[in-house]
Structure 1
């Protein structure tokens, strides 16, 4: 049998269910690997005491099976409230914060039987697609330890690539499930907005930019975790209904049409080699019987960017204003968060309305375009993994980035209108650096996108090329 930590989450689940492995055996194997390799990459943070973790694993072995995650060790992204576990949001303001309750997503994962071992690292408040913070430091890329693992789910992506966890949760506002997946050669899935409900707290009607979602080393593992995370909650005003069964993704994809948007006709500059590698990755779909066709940019990129900047700043300012208003707390915020808040506070109600009008126009245009294609593709990132000491890339191919997040702009056509999107590995550069593709479709096409991803993964499993740690 392959080493326990090399098995997929679904393989581990089956072996525990059929008593071929115990939770103690599985958990011990992952803890040993964490002890050996996590110091190199700093992906798992807030690791619980080994004795406490193994006690939970023993209880799992002695109790009735609760769900497909029964007895499987998982670490939760450090943005999700987790009862009894330090949850810092990567911020010194919450460095000692220990929640007394679980977020809805964490509760669902617990209810499915997972053994929680700790947290996965994230940027401060999840801001920026590079995982570093003043509480735990930076997460390094398992494929090149001097480079970034991306973010904000960088800890989760790095832990998956290094085989420190079998499957992971993440969250995504501006590519946080997609950029790190590309940088670390794993899969990340941003579901249709609302499929995975947010916590029923605070304002629940206006913001539709961020969502939680699963990450894994295969679409099948992602689909299984999505099944756990998804589903309505009566306390949430958006009812997406009972989700379909995502777990069996087998089926022919022959005849499907995929629109290749490339760099949006130059609007999203990409570093050398990214577009050609993505096109090579897309060729797998041709061999699966799909048709991959170039598509002209369907909407003005500057309008999308203005809409996104406005709505994102408004969301951040709305969430963080009380912290900003306290001078002592403000002094502990990262400069990018202060910039976001101040941008948001300067907005008028008309600004927000006009930004959402642009968003609405893009949604209508995308639905029209979707009548001709089954899915669309873009690169998952515009840059290769960059030095871990940087705060963010300041230029792409000589083009100066005018904000801290402009280098991530290629993800916003998906985020702005809540589309389901699977980040799939596309291979490696000549220097051995990973890159990936975004594969997305209209809201509600989650299963179709995952089915395409599963066929791609079955044809060429890039994740088998594990990092040499």
Structure 2
């Protein structure tokens, strides 16, 4: 069941017993399924004690019973004005009451360690003393936190593996024959949802961290407007025994201009992940409330006028899904909305621009890439300088055992100059102006969620795409940068799966070669729909229409 259906079943357990499910029963089913499935995929870590969770679920059932009794008593007193006057108001339990969830291991959940998928930089024997604010909102809505979901070390790289907890693998391939990447950094959350270990989960997104995993695991996600979901806490968390004892020594090497002065919003944002857009919408509302909905004309950006390389089939598959959506909408074959969905190539919009405009139709991606990385590297260096003895990390030839990609980013951040920071700020201003122009012509822009299909997890990251060499470990995910650098909300929707059965993935062909190489079209890929800042609910509305119009298999095929 999705979270909304589970909520209805739980809340109805006293009113309609035949349709009910108790919190205790749901918890037992969830834990049994995790025990069976999770060893194959390693999505959930730090799972709490089973008996403690079942006891907590029983307490949630008692709270439901008490609420029902209070509501019944209040109804009985409706004709008695004195009793009604003195009767205490009934506390309404949240829509997520009793629903299990695991929190991404980059965020704080009280009582659980926040390991950030890291061994060398943290001993992490102490649990967090408080919740991140959005986690607190989830708890207030009634969730039962059962553990954490796996991440790459400190969220670095869109491939979920680390030395502390191991690899999280994609469920859309036969893991006995070929282990494919689940994406990242919210790979654990995406796999847990796709395999139905969880109905919903939280993710966080800097450079595609809720978008790529959603696309590769055939689910929905939303990267909200940066800053829309609050993350700050009022109490310092105790999550590490490692402290920075050399702040003064490194302060002179931190760029004079802070990364936070370039972007007027956080570079990373939490976001909801689920199997349905409705659950994404409800989860977002739980975190931040509601906003106005609107219509949309979708601008397809494709390969950004040749800049972005893609594996064969990705662009055509994503574009075909949008075209099918537009066709059904324009022929009034759906009852979801009276809106008409229109899809247009951004390249076809050249004639709408005046001859006096000297700026190219699409923003220079290299400028975008350089500006984004300047902020990314500087911010990474600033954060680690505050939390750790960064000089000892940088001076150690092995980086103190930290992930080599993380060490590289820290060194890049250390070398950034004030001039480069000023340039990044200038580029961000130009890009913001360009976005304003684009959103005058289009309500929503669209790109694939990744430039490649899920790849073997042992590869760490792709080094070439369609013959083009990737010059950095994260260049293969540059398709996510237009959203991240703009701080834009982005909904990831799954492109329809091929009619070929995903159960064939990884099986060996007669000539000994893996069918993986010839059947990538059967693997999941997603579409990024992004809009201007603050238009999060518009994206969820559109995704809900898409969900009801475009057929898709939302179940992974290799659950064991």
Deviations 1:54-100 (A, max 9, x none): 11111111115531111000011011111111221000033534212
Q: 1:234 aligns to what?
A: none
Deviations 1:182-230 (A, max 9, x none): 1100011100111102225899954531100100001100011111122
Matched, 1:324 2:375: no
- Asked if the contact 2:259–2:375 (Cα under 8 Å) also holds between the matched residues in 1, the reply is no
1:270–1:44 CA distance, 2 compared to 1 (3 A):
same
- Asked if the contact 1:217–1:463 (Cα under 8 Å) also holds between the matched residues in 2, the reply is no
Q: 2:193 aligns to what?
A: 160
Q: 1:67 aligns to what?
A: 94
Matched, 1:80 2:74: no
Q: 1:184 aligns to what?
A: 217
Alignment partners' CA distance in 2, 1:32 and 1:306: 47
SS at match of 1:378: strand
How does 1:171-210 map onto structure 2 within 5 Å?
171-200=204-233, 206=261, 208-210=266-268
TM-score by length of 2: 0.77
Q: 2:355 aligns to what?
A: none
1:215–1:230 CA distance, 2 compared to 1 (3 A):
same
Deviates more, 1:205-214 or 1:267-276: 205-214
- Asked if the contact 1:323–1:330 (Cα under 8 Å) also holds between the matched residues in 2, the reply is no
Q: 1:38 aligns to what?
A: 38
Q: Name the structure with the higher strand share.
A: 1
How does 1:388-399 map onto structure 2 within 5 Å?
388-399=457-468
Q: Deviation at 1:278? A: 0.4
How does 1:85-164 map onto structure 2 within 5 Å?
85-92=112-119, 93-97=121-125, 98-144=127-173, 145=175, 146-164=179-197
TM-score by length of 1: 0.91
SS at match of 1:338: helix
Matched, 1:225 2:283: yes
Alignment partners' CA distance in 2, 1:397 and 1:121: 30
Structure 2 unaligned runs (5+)? 14-19, 68-91, 237-257, 331-340, 348-360, 501-518
1:204–1:11 CA distance, 2 compared to 1 (3 A):
farther
Alignment partners' CA distance in 2, 1:359 and 1:205: 12
Q: 2:291 aligns to what?
A: 244
Q: 1:377 aligns with which of 422, 433, 446?
A: 446
- Asked if the contact 2:299–2:346 (Cα under 8 Å) also holds between the matched residues in 1, the reply is yes
- Asked if the contact 1:10–1:221 (Cα under 8 Å) also holds between the matched residues in 2, the reply is yes
Q: Larger relative CO (CA 8 A, sep 6+): 1 or 2?
A: 2
CA RMSD, Structure 1 to Structure 2 (Å):
1.9
Q: Deviation at 1:330? A: 4.3
Alignment partners' CA distance in 1, 2:115 and 2:123: 5
Q: Deviation at 1:461? A: 4.7
Q: 1:283 aligns to what?
A: 323
Q: 1:15 aligns to what?
A: 9
Alignment partners' CA distance in 1, 2:222 and 2:533: 13
Q: Deviation at 1:374? A: 1.5
SS at match of 1:94: coil
Q: 2:314 aligns to what?
A: 274
Q: Deviation at 1:466? A: 3.3
- Asked if the contact 2:492–2:526 (Cα under 8 Å) also holds between the matched residues in 1, the reply is yes
- Asked if the contact 1:173–1:209 (Cα under 8 Å) also holds between the matched residues in 2, the reply is yes
Deviations 1:274-307 (A, max 9, x none): 0111012112321223211111352011110110
Alignment partners' CA distance in 2, 1:385 and 1:212: 23
Alignment partners' CA distance in 2, 1:460 and 1:49: 41
Structure 1 unaligned runs (5+)? 1-6, 232-242
Deviates more, 1:317-326 or 1:260-269: 317-326
Q: 2:554 aligns to what?
A: 464
Q: 1:293 aligns to what?
A: 344
- Asked if the contact 2:259–2:378 (Cα under 8 Å) also holds between the matched residues in 1, the reply is no
Q: 1:259 aligns to what?
A: 299
Alignment partners' CA distance in 2, 1:188 and 1:414: 14
Aligned residues: 445
1:284–1:465 CA distance, 2 compared to 1 (3 A):
farther
Alignment partners' CA distance in 2, 1:200 and 1:23: 29
Q: 1:302 aligns with which of 357, 361, 366?
A: 366
Alignment partners' CA distance in 1, 2:188 and 2:42: 7
- Asked if the contact 2:321–2:550 (Cα under 8 Å) also holds between the matched residues in 1, the reply is no
1:204–1:342 CA distance, 2 compared to 1 (3 A):
closer
Q: 2:409 aligns to what?
A: 340
